[in-house]
Amino acid sequence: MAYEDTLTGQVLASHLMEGRLTSGEEIGIRIDQTLTQDATGTLVYLEFMSMGLDRVRTRRSVSYVDHNTLQTGFENADDHRFLQSAAARYGAYFSRPGNGICHQVHLERFGVPGQTLLGSDSHTPTSGGLGMLAMGAGGLDVALAMAGAPFFMIAPRVSLIRLTGELPPWVGAKDVILYILQRLGVKGGLGRIMEYGGPGAASLSVPERATIANMGAELGAWTSIFPSDDVTHRFLKAQERKDDWTPLAARDGAVYDDVVDIDLSALVPLAACPSSPDAVRPIRELSGVKVDQVAIGSCTNSSYMDLKTAATLLKGKRVHPDVSLVVSPGSRQVLAMLARDGALADMIEAGARILEVACGPCIGMGQAPPSGGVSVRTYNRNFPGRSGTPDAQVYLCGPQAAVAAALTGYLTEPHELGEAPVIQEPDVFLVDDSMILTPPDDGREITVHMGPNIKSLPALEPLPDEMHLDILLKVGDHITTDDILPGGAKVLPLRSNLPVISEHVYALKAPGFAARARQHRAVTILGGENYGQGSSREHAALAPRYLGVRAVLAKSFARLHRANLINFGVVPALVKEETYARLEEGDCIGFLDLRRSVAESEQLTARTEDKGFTFESRLDLSTREREILLAGGRLNFQRRALSGEP
């Protein structure tokens, strides 16, 4: 079958546990590896612990600490200790704080072509640069994969991105993905896997491929995948992992749902303008924009090659006096290599502020820009408020354009810096895994440390037969999970404490949401298109649920958030444009005969109790998802399935 001849189809077929590999059908696939990070990982481990197993059942599970590294109180440090002890107890590798951003380290040290990876972070697709089928998911899905359960997904459509030519000087991998975002938009990848191929792919190094795969998350795609070829072999060999290599490519005759042709040699330096990753324009059109901050790093652009390029451009020059330049290397390997070859000194001498090896400003952990300031970042998301400054204007670009802005004080075409540096990928990376702790063979004697800020998960009751929900909030299109539950240095330390973090639901967009929700029995939110785009954080579903949000009505949902809503028993109901237009904040909606509808119907009938009109919403659910909702969430469902209860 032609679908199975695609690279994607081959990996899916070799991991298929349930269902038929026909796009649009629900399938369950075996997960070889899992990845968690500290901001989502504490919930993942609490969920895993509630399943009563002694050890993870994957080939490899890795627990990273990279998000919440600013220790302004005991909370984050307690979480780190909890995660370290839980990894040892349950058989996962533990990458210590300071070792690097999960996706960068996973690419360097763990990713294996042809295997599957599920991570509790939306940028898990980064390892697709190695030919891995790597996907982001909600924490509970990852906890279940750690327990050996299949990961359920809709068999995707497969798009071929056919690359020809080679990147010209001053144009980098970031410009490739920004170009694709400009062409396809933040919904352009929905329901799809973006498979890269064509003769141009061979001209891209693994870290460049990883940059492209990383930001495929912003297309809304399941993931992105590159072939595993000589370039991949070279990278793995340089990481002392040549035995992990296997070749992988689409077979002749592979048929794709669609093909996007890109001539790499025709690309120009691009930037995503405030405040969406697809608001992309050529930098030459933005040259008057005055810049206050430049931030180089994040899982998108923090490889050795990226930072060495930045350092080479900065060498012997000075950062513009009006610009604060911050640099956060992606991994300890990257930082150590920059330190040894002098590139670190070049950056320091130019005036760069060197930050810890971590996510840092990308998730608002420090370095918020000044009020109304312009920040130019090599990151992947520029959603409003994410930088920590609500009215900051964030532009996203590659490291070369970022350095050009840092030196000139304005968005500037990088070629104005003169001749483009040519940086060779190293033949040997500096390999030192001493900050990755290997779990003992038997962890049963190990005590898991829970600090006072770590609270167990609440019990969720099954779906009732009747619900009366007040519309507490009506929002527009493309609401992000950063809108629903902000990141940042103040809120992130509360990720293990549901009652307290719930106070921050919609804190920036609709202040007072939590207090108002508490005055109602049960509430709902009315959303537009692509509701819940962005991160995988399941807190954005669980915290509203905790406040009494029992259903969300929206024109369409982002995949990860939709799955998280279902996992916590919140009904995602699809409404038509005219219904969206008619419903208002303050309306009370009655759902009768709810259990029967969720069990067997495509439609959910509701009545506005005050206005007295009836409307239909659509339930686009698989049989498994219906059962999960009826049970009141995935943990209840799983427990019931294990105990054989009806």
Q: Which residues bind ligand MIC (CB under 6 A)?
A: 39-40, 67, 121-123, 136, 363, 487, 534-537
Q: Which one of 30, 537, 545, 561 is the catalytic residue?
A: 537
In the complex, the smallest distance separating the C-beta of residue 488 from ligand MIC, rounded to whole angstroms, is: 10
* Minimum CB distance to ligand MIC smaller for 363 or for 471: 363
Question: Measured between alpha carbons, how far is residue 402 from residues 88, 307, 376, 398 in Å?
Answer: 40, 11, 6, 6
Q: Which does 200 bind (CB under 5 to 8 A by kind): ligand SF4, ligand MIC, none?
A: none
b (16+ CB within 10 A) / e for 426-453: eeebbeebebbbebeeebeebebbbbeb
Could you tell me which of 112, 244, 254 has the C-alpha nearest to residue 196? 254
Q: Which one of 381, 539, 545, 561 is the catalytic residue?
A: 381
Q: Considering all CA atoms of the chain, what is the largest pairwise distance in Å, rounded to the nearest integer?
A: 72
In the complex, the smallest distance separating the C-beta of residue 92 from ligand SF4, rounded to whole angstroms, is: 18
b (16+ CB within 10 A) / e for 601-631: eeebebbbeeeeeebbbebebeebbbbbbbb
In the complex, the smallest distance separating the C-beta of residue 513 from ligand SF4, rounded to whole angstroms, is: 24
Question: Measured between alpha carbons, how far is residue 429 from residues 93, 244, 436, 613 in Å?
Answer: 21, 16, 16, 66
Could you tell me which of 371, 377, 378 has the C-alpha nearest to residue 394? 377
Q: Which one of 15, 67, 157, 539 is the catalytic residue?
A: 67
Q: Which does 40 bind (CB under 5 to 8 A by kind): ligand SF4, ligand MIC, none?
A: ligand MIC
381 catalytic? Reply is: yes
In the complex, the smallest distance separating the C-beta of residue 399 from ligand SF4, rounded to whole angstroms, is: 14
According to the 3-state scheme, what is the secondary structure of 362-378? HHCCCCCCCCCCEEEEC
* Minimum CB distance to ligand MIC smaller for 41 or for 207: 41
Q: Which one of 535, 536, 556, 597 is the catalytic residue?
A: 535
Residues with Cβ within 8 Å of 53's Cβ and at least 6 positions away in sequence, in order, are 90, 147
**61 in Cβ contact with 92 (< 8 Å):** yes
Name residue 290's beta-bridge partners: 410
* Minimum CB distance to ligand MIC smaller for 19 or for 487: 487
In the complex, the smallest distance separating the C-beta of residue 380 from ligand SF4, rounded to whole angstroms, is: 5
* Minimum CB distance to ligand MIC smaller for 97 or for 632: 97
Q: Which does 101 bind (CB under 5 to 8 A by kind): ligand SF4, ligand MIC, none?
A: ligand SF4
* Minimum CB distance to ligand SF4 smaller for 218 or for 587: 218
535 catalytic? Reply is: yes
Q: Which does 298 bind (CB under 5 to 8 A by kind): ligand SF4, ligand MIC, none?
A: ligand SF4
In the complex, the smallest distance separating the C-beta of residue 534 from ligand MIC, rounded to whole angstroms, is: 6
* Minimum CB distance to ligand MIC smaller for 178 or for 594: 178
From the number of C-beta atoms within 10 Å of its C-beta (0-12, 13-18, 19+), residue 23 rates as: middle
In the complex, the smallest distance separating the C-beta of residue 243 from ligand SF4, rounded to whole angstroms, is: 28
In the complex, the smallest distance separating the C-beta of residue 363 from ligand MIC, rounded to whole angstroms, is: 5
Q: Which does 564 bind (CB under 5 to 8 A by kind): ligand SF4, ligand MIC, none?
A: none
Q: Which one of 32, 38, 66, 141 is the catalytic residue?
A: 66
For tokens 């071929």, the residue is 160
Q: Which does 415 bind (CB under 5 to 8 A by kind): ligand MIC, ligand SF4, none?
A: none
In the complex, the smallest distance separating the C-beta of residue 120 from ligand SF4, rounded to whole angstroms, is: 10
640 catalytic? Reply is: no
* Minimum CB distance to ligand MIC smaller for 475 or for 541: 541
**291 in Cβ contact with 376 (< 8 Å):** yes
b (16+ CB within 10 A) / e for 462-498: ebeeebbbbbbbbbeebbbbbbbbbbbbebbbbbbbb
Rounded to an integer, what distance in angstroms lies between the CA atom of residue 427 and that of residue 432? 16
626 catalytic? Reply is: no
Note the residues at the interface with ligand SF4 (CB under 6 A): 67, 101, 121, 123, 298-299, 359, 362-363, 380
State how beta strands 549-554 and 523-527 pair.
parallel
Q: Which does 533 bind (CB under 5 to 8 A by kind): ligand SF4, ligand MIC, none?
A: none
Backbone phi and psi for residue 126, each to the nearest 5 degrees, phi listed first: -50, -40
* Minimum CB distance to ligand SF4 smaller for 232 or for 328: 328
Q: Which does 61 bind (CB under 5 to 8 A by kind): ligand MIC, ligand SF4, none?
A: none
* Minimum CB distance to ligand SF4 smaller for 175 or for 218: 218
Residues with Cβ within 8 Å of 418's Cβ and at least 6 positions away in sequence, in order, are none
From the number of C-beta atoms within 10 Å of its C-beta (0-12, 13-18, 19+), residue 578 rates as: exposed
State how beta strands 588-591 and 467-474 pair.
antiparallel
Return the SS3 of 351. Answer: coil
In the complex, the smallest distance separating the C-beta of residue 359 from ligand SF4, rounded to whole angstroms, is: 3
Q: Which does 352 bind (CB under 5 to 8 A by kind): ligand MIC, ligand SF4, none?
A: none
Query: Which token pair is 398?
Result: 């590659």
Name residue 554's beta-bridge partners: 527, 574
537 catalytic? Reply is: yes
Q: Which one of 121, 244, 278, 483 is the catalytic residue?
A: 121
Q: How many helices (H) and strands (E) does the chain have?
A: 23, 27
Return the SS3 of 33. Answer: strand
* Minimum CB distance to ligand SF4 smaller for 65 or for 343: 65
**85 in Cβ contact with 342 (< 8 Å):** no
Q: Which does 537 bind (CB under 5 to 8 A by kind): ligand MIC, ligand SF4, none?
A: ligand MIC
State how beta strands 157-164 and 258-263 pair.
parallel
- The catalytic residue positions are 66-67, 121, 381, 535, 537
